[in-house]
Structure 1
Amino acid sequence: MNPIKIIAWLVMLACVNAIAAAEPEMSPKARAMLESGGPSFQGKRLYTGPHRTPRKMDGLTIVGYNYTDSYIGAFSVNGAGGGNLEVSSKTSGGGGGTCCAAIPADTALPMTLDIAWKRDGQVPWCRQTILLDGPVPTEPQYLEVHFYQDGTIQAAMSEYPSPPRVKLDRVSYVKRKASGNVNNDGKYGSCGHDN
């Protein structure tokens, strides 16, 4: 093994032990994750940066933003329903708020979120695992889920629902353009699942 990697591992282990000793009020789940070396994503250990979820945090209201070309009939975050999403406009992300995303308090970020969604009238669901990272507001109230035209999905915590990140025109609440709408659901996600 590379000597630099060994030194980095020993430094990380010392930091983990120092944090664990200094944080007697840490939740058992957070302590277990910290002692295991932190979270992993697609088989790779994640660097957990300076961001953590607040020590005292209730469930977050899920609010969706649909920058794709067509209506999303339903979506969920870690199994919690996020409702349906109209195609966004220049002033609206396309969805309302639903309760509640169970994001654990006092947890190092990034952490993984499992997003599932389906288009209106289509039985198979699509799934994508994404990372939730900081920055973290002082008192987060919302978990925003942003569906982009290229098939990527991003999530962020906020104190208030944000304006749309992408301001696009639409012809109706169910489609972006009169014709030529594109569906990139399978580009980063996998589709054809039962929910």
Structure 2
Amino acid sequence: MKKLAGGLVLLLLSTMLSSCHAAADTMGLGVVGYNHTDHDIGDFSVNGEAGSYVGKHEEHGEACCVSLPAKFTSGMTVTVTWTDEYNKHPQIRTVPVPPYTPEDSGVFAVHFLRNGDIKVFVTDLVIISNPDGPLKGDEARM
């Protein structure tokens, strides 16, 4: 019985260690939605995870979670899906992820812009009006 218990502990430890190694290669980020448009967004998600309702000209607080590589790789994209205010008319778009560093890893911000574009950022600057934020000028206006 002791050998069986010892074997189970060893198996559990090796599983935990291997998942820690995988976790070091990725980072989990809360998702914040910003709706710059004149229409409510019934629901949105990033790579099939997180997101929720975002009213017109509003920010929706952090939802959990999207997983990204800890180190940025050129050409990275995410898939953003969303619906209208009645949770109908689903849409999907592949969006490029701009470069980020480990220091940027506060949240994953999804911006639905008035011109129909969607921009995403890994950022620790969650205040939209921050002059150092990724959106500038009219784009940043809610």
Answer whether TM exceeds 0.5 for this pair. yes
Q: Which of the numbers 72, 86, 92 marks the counterpart of 2:55?
A: 86
Q: CA deviation at 1:151?
A: 0.7
Runs of 4+ in 1 over 6 A off after TM superposition: none
Q: Are 2:54 and 1:117 equivalent residues in the alignment?
A: no
Q: CA deviation at 1:141?
A: 2.1
The answer as to whether partners of 2:104 and 2:122 remain within 8 angstroms in 1 is no
Tell me the secondary structure at the aligned position of residue 27 of structure 2: coil
Identify unmatched segments of 5+ residues in structure 2.
Answer: 1-21, 130-134
* 1:65 matches 2:34: yes
Cα distance in structure 1, aligned partners of 2:128 and 2:71: 27
1:143 maps onto 2:117 in alignment: no
Please give the TM-score of this superposition, normalised by the length of structure 2. Answer: 0.69
The alpha carbon displacement at 1:57 in A equals 4.8
What does residue range 36-51 of structure 1 map to in structure 2 within 5 Å? Answer: none
Kindly provide the amino acid, as one letter, of the partner of residue 84 in structure 1.
Y
Paired positions, count:
111
Segments of structure 1 that go 5 or more residues without pairing to the other structure are 1-28, 30-54, 169-195
- Any conservation in 2 of the 1:62–1:100 contact (CA below 8 Å)? yes
- 1:133–1:139 Cα change, 3 Å: closer
**Partners of 2:31 and 2:107 within 8 A in 1:** yes
Q: Secondary structure at the match of 2:126?
A: coil
Change (3 A) 1:109 1:162: farther
Post-superposition offset of 1:163: 1.4
How far, CA to CA, are the matches of 1:100 and 1:135 in structure 2?
A: 17
Could you give the per-residue CA deviations for residues 10-54 of structure 1, whole angstroms, max 9, x where no partner exists? xxxxxxxxxxxxxxxxxxx9xxxxxxxxxxxxxxxxxxxxxxxxx
Determine the C-alpha separation between the residues in 2 that align with 1:122 and 1:139: 32
**1:71-109 Cα distance to aligned partner (Å, 9 max, x none):** 001000000021111112xxxx42111010111223413
The answer as to 2:66 corresponding to 1:101 is: yes
Aligned equivalents of 2:95 and 2:122: distance in 1?
A: 14
Alignment of 1:145-164 (within 5 A): 145-164=110-129
The Cα RMSD (Å) is 2.2
Q: SS state of the match for residue 53, structure 2? A: strand
User: 1:160 Cα deviation (Å)?
Assistant: 4.1
